[in-house]
Amino acid sequence: LELEGRMRRALANEEFVVFYQPKVSADRDTIVGAEALIRWMDPERGMVSPGEFIPVAEESGQIEAIGTWVLRESCRQNRKWQNAGFDPLKVSVNVSARQFRSRGLIETVTEALDDTGLDPKWLELEITESMLMNDVDAAVRKMKALRDLGIGLSIDDFGTGYSSLSYLGRFPITTLKIDRAFIADVDTNPKTAEIARAIIGLSRGLNLEVVAEGAEIAAHIMFLRNNGCDTVQGFYYSRPVPAEEFERMMRQPV
Ligand code: G
Ligand code: G
Ligand code: MN
Ligand code: NA
C-alpha cells in the first residue's frame, strides 16, 4: 500500500500516538506546558516521522481527520492529567495550513474542548507565519474566532517564515515561538544572540509569551534565562516522549 492508503488504515487501527515535549519555565525550572507531536507506529515499517507523512496527509486531505484526532487526544490527555492532580499545563497542538484554512476548524476545536471538558485556557494552537500571509484578513478573522473560544495562539518557527513585521500587531496571538535556528548558535554567534534578544524584547513589548525551541545545551538555557525568555523547550530538558514518560517527568523536578 502507498503511504496514503496506509495512513487511512492507521487512523482506524489506532497506529497514531501523541508524544509530548516539555516546555519549561526559564526562571523556575518547572514544566509549564507541552507540545503535542504526532507519531505513527506503522506495524510494518516502524516509526514514521511526521515530517514525512504530514505533507502527504496535507496533500490528500487526510490531515483533517488526523488533525481532529490529535486535537481531541491532546485535550483528553491534558484533562486526564488535571484530573489526576498534576499542576495544570498548557498543551500546544500544531495546526497545518490546510487545517487552519478549513471551515470546520472552529467547530473541531469547540468539540474537542466540550467533549473532554478541558478549560480552553489550557489549549494553544501553533501556527506558522506562512499560513497567515496568503489572505491576511481571512487569517485575522480565523485567529479572532479561535481566540474567542478562549484558547491561546502561538506563531511557530518565528523569524523564518515569509511574514512581515507590519502584520504582527494585527495578529491576535498570545505567544511567539523563536525558531530553533536562532537558538542553535546563540551562545557562540553575537549576531544571532542580538536577533534572539530582539525577538524576546519584541514579545515583551507586545505583551506576548515568548518560547524558545531547540535549546540543547546548558549555554542555551543560560542565555535564554539571562535575557528574559519566559519558556524553554528542547532536547536539553527532554525529547518528545510518550504520555506515561511525560507523567514521570512531572512527578519529579526537571
Ligand atoms: O516531531 P518532529 O520533529 O518529527 O516533527 C516534524 C514536523 O512535523 C514538525 O514541523 C512538526 O510541527 C510537525 N508535526 C508534528 N506533529 C504534528 C501534528 O500533530 N500536526 C501537524 N500539522 N504537524 C505536526
Ligand atoms: O516545526 P515544529 O517546531 O513544530 O517542530 C517541533 C519539533 O522540533 C519537535 O517535534 C522536535 O522533534 C524538534 N525539536 C524539539 N527540540 C529540539 C531540539 O532541542 N533540537 C532539535 N534539533 N530539534 C528539536
Ligand atoms: Mn511546533
Ligand atoms: Na517550531
pLDDT tens digits along 51-68:
999 999 999 999 999 999
Alpha helices in 19-62 (DSSP H): 50-60
For position 127, what pLDDT does the model report? 97
Pocket test of ligand 2: the residue of 95, 99, 211, 235 to mutate, having most ligand atoms within 8 Å of its CB, is: 235
Ligand 2 centre distance from Cα of residue 67 (Å) = 19
pLDDT for residue 217 is more than 80: yes
Decide if the complex's ipTM is over 0.90. Answer: yes
Mean pLDDT in residue range 137-162:
95
Among protein residues, the one whose CA lies closest to atom 24 of ligand 2: 214
Which residue would you say has higher pLDDT here, 85 or 160?
85
For position 29, what pLDDT does the model report? 84
pLDDT for residue 248 is more than 90: yes
**Calculated CA dihedral for residues 97, 66, 174, 150, nearest 10 degrees:** 120
> Is the CB–ligand 1 distance for residue 169 below 6 Å?
no
Read off the pLDDT band of 184 (50, 70, 90). very high
Ligand 2 centre distance from Cα of residue 21 (Å) = 9
Mean pLDDT in residue range 107-112:
98
Domain range enclosing 69? 3-251
For position 254, what pLDDT does the model report? 60
Query: Are 23 and 248 spatial neighbours (Cβ–Cβ below 8 Å)?
Result: no
Ligand 1 centre distance from Cα of residue 48 (Å) = 11
Ligand 4 centre distance from Cα of residue 179 (Å) = 5
Among protein residues, the one whose CA lies closest to atom 16 of ligand 1: 37
Q: Which three cell numbers stand for residue 124?
A: 494553544
For position 161, what pLDDT does the model report? 80
| Beta-carbon count within 10 A of 71 CB | 25
Read off the pLDDT band of 150 (50, 70, 90). very high
Read off the pLDDT band of 166 (50, 70, 90). confident
Task: Calculate the average pLDDT of the chain.
Answer: 95
Mean pLDDT in residue range 152-167:
88
Closest atom of ligand 1 to 37 CA is 16
CATH code of the domain in which 120 resides: 3.20.20.450
| Distance set, CA 109 to CA 3, 38, 191 (Å) | 27, 17, 40
Mean pLDDT in residue range 118-142:
96
Q: What's the domain count of the chain?
A: 1
For position 80, what pLDDT does the model report? 98
> Is the CB–ligand 2 distance for residue 235 below 6 Å?
yes
pLDDT for residue 249 is more than 90: yes
* Three-state secondary structure call for residue 115: helix
pLDDT for residue 173 is more than 80: yes
Paired residues of 47 in beta bridges? 41
Give tens-digit pLDDT for 82-92. 999 999 999 99
